[in-house]
Amino acid sequence: MSFKHLNLIEPLLKALDNEGYTTPTPIQEQAIPIILDRKDLLGCAQTGTGKTAAFALPLLQLLCEDTAGITEETRPGGHRPITALVLTPTRELAIQIDESFAAYGKYTGMKHTVIFGGVPQHQQVQALQKGVDILVATPGRLLDLIDQRYVSLQHIRYFVLDEADRMLDMGFIHDVRKLLTKLPAKKHSLFFSATMPPEIQKLANTILVNPSKVEVTPASTTAETVQQSLYFVDKKDKRSLLLHVLKDGAIGTALVFTRTKHGADKVAQGLVRAGIRAEAIHGNKSQNARQRALENFKSRHTRILVATDIAARGIDIDELTHVINYELPNVPETYVHRIGRTGRAGASGTALSFCDQEEGEYLRDIQKLISKAIPVIEDHPHVMHASLAIRPSVVGTSSAAGRDGSGNGRRNGQGHGNERREGSGQRREGSGNDRRNQGAGNQRREGGDQRREAGDQRRDGGNGRRDGGHQRRERPVQPINTGDPMETAEQRLERIERQPEPMAKRPEAPVKRPEPITRKPEIKRHEPEGRRAETEVKRTEPQRDNSLPNETILPFKVNRSEGDEKW
């Protein structure tokens, strides 16, 4: 089937021909007729299946039908109101959707713009004031401009919520609910999500009215066109393994994923030092820097783009052949979105993943989600140490094959001797391994007997120490000044009775403290010319004064010069 069979108008077919698109993808083939019939749609399709064109093409056609015969002069109010709103979680995805509207609507005359945070709003406000038909926005900046009264949603007739599950993961679900209250009750709604958890299903039920459901592939499955491989490697050797992998000339460009922003910068810097053109993109980068790095990667000026999971969705790069998971994600669904950057629209791709000892649990969750084991590559110079190696978990349908295969069977005993029942029997029957009848077992029993005897000796020693302690406590106290150390108790008592009683210690007489000396100063002044006057203090008997407390003094002398007016 071609796009011509989907009843698209000629301007859209001409634009698709310019882009080189001839055959629609399954999601496009099923969704476009439903949307053209003006029915609400619930689309569940994995990333990279062409969802943007699935809603952009019919929206452009519906807008053309609505505005047929309407010119700028005959437009009500003279201003171009926003009639279609596309809400998306990330800046990169918003920019790409706006670019898709520009490419598909090149010959339709529809105006569109994109708004997102992280950049000044001046240019975005100017574009809105000129009037647009289609607005692509992220939730935060849209709410901000609505509060500033630069955006009005009262004329919205078409609403698209893209990557709804990503909205939930990034914490935008409350902003989405707030925006829904500002939209008209009657509208044509389209809801797209790669996965359909219960929270997203509840949100869809509040937005859509009698929707038609399109589910191209099962939720959270990887594209069949992506060849997946796994490397077990020590954490310290990951950088060396990445350089080894990139020596392959077949890898023209590659998207490398890390879990943290600091890790992305560190990997990019290591690649640059090794002579490989690389840039990092993550949330701490400014929007201009992120867009510049993305453009350099798309134009092949940069060979390696190192990104965090903020770029796991929304990056649409033509002919991207390789995705490398430098670090496995801790959320298994994120793995699906990461490798979905390659193998898009039916093209083939390769996904390589590095797994260290700490990421074994992440690997098991991923393989459980995709219901298959990822093939392991052992032919590389940085194989994980044998003592740390992680045995790949086998899940889904692969587990049955694993039970029948060599080395993994638990019942039939085939392969390399991993079968537990027969292997245990062989150990019992083997030479030198029988614990009951042969030497090792006898040695263990004899060793056990020796250990038990040693334990008995220790216990006997402990009893001896306790008996010795009792003996020390029961030993009679030897007299201090005696000439016979073998004196009996009766002799000691007789000797103590014959000793005179010690004299009682006399009580000490109380110490009398001298009474404080109080004074009433009497000053004798002698004022001879040219000499210093000497003042003496005369001691007096204590006198009580009800108004002032007595003063305690010591004898002293005060020198006073002639001419002093104050004492």
Q: Is residue 448 part of a domain?
A: no
Q: Is residue 511 part of a domain?
A: no
**Domain end point (choices 393, 415, 442):** 393
Range of the domain at 323: 226-393
Q: How many domains does the chain have?
A: 2
Contact 34, 41 (CB under 8 A): yes
Do 177 and 279 sit in the same domain of this protein?
A: no
Handedness of CA 53, 59, 65, 70 (dihedral sign): negative
C-alpha span between 146 and 305 (Å, rounded): 35
**Distance, CA of 171 to chain centre:** 14
Do 230 and 210 sit in the same domain of this protein?
A: no
What are the residues whose beta carbons fall under 8 Å from the beta carbon of 171, sequence distance 6 or more?
A: none
Do 31 and 174 sit in the same domain of this protein?
A: yes
Do 211 and 339 sit in the same domain of this protein?
A: no
**Domain end point (choices 149, 184, 215):** 215
Residue carrying the six token digits 């006997």: 460
Do 125 and 206 sit in the same domain of this protein?
A: yes
Q: Is residue 538 part of a domain?
A: no
Which CATH number do you get for residue 116? Answer: 3.40.50.300
Do 335 and 189 sit in the same domain of this protein?
A: no
Do 166 and 307 sit in the same domain of this protein?
A: no
User: Comparing C-alpha atoms, which of 368, 316, 355 is closest to residue 47?
Assistant: 316
Do 141 and 102 sit in the same domain of this protein?
A: yes
Q: Residue 176: CA atoms inside 13 Å, Cβ hemisphere, count?
A: 26
Do 98 and 9 sit in the same domain of this protein?
A: yes
Do 319 and 353 sit in the same domain of this protein?
A: yes
pLDDT by position in tens, the chain (length 567): 788 889 999 999 999 988 888 889 889 999 999 999 999 999 987 666 788 999 999 999 999 998 875 655 545 555 688 999 999 988 888 988 999 999 999 999 899 999 998 889 999 999 999 899 999 999 999 999 999 999 999 999 999 999 888 888 778 889 999 999 999 999 999 999 877 888 888 999 999 999 999 987 654 455 667 899 999 999 999 999 999 999 988 898 999 999 998 999 999 999 999 999 999 988 788 878 888 888 899 888 999 999 988 655 556 677 788 999 999 998 887 888 888 888 765 667 899 999 999 999 999 999 998 888 999 998 888 888 654 555 555 444 333 333 343 333 333 333 343 334 444 444 444 444 444 444 444 445 545 555 555 555 555 555 545 544 444 444 444 444 444 556 666 677 677 666 655 555 555 556 566 666 655 555 555 555 554 444 444 444 555 555 545 444 445 445 555 554 444
Q: Residue 288: CA atoms inside 13 Å, Cβ hemisphere, count?
A: 2
Q: Is residue 268 part of a domain?
A: yes
Do 162 and 199 sit in the same domain of this protein?
A: yes
pTM, two decimals, is 0.54
Please state the three-class secondary structure of 169-224 as a single string: HCCCHHHHHHHHCCCCCCCEEEEEECCCCHHHHHHHHHHCCCCEEEECCCCCCCCC
C-alpha span between 207 and 164 (Å, rounded): 12
**Domain end point (choices 326, 360, 393):** 393
Q: Is residue 330 part of a domain?
A: yes
Do 284 and 308 sit in the same domain of this protein?
A: yes
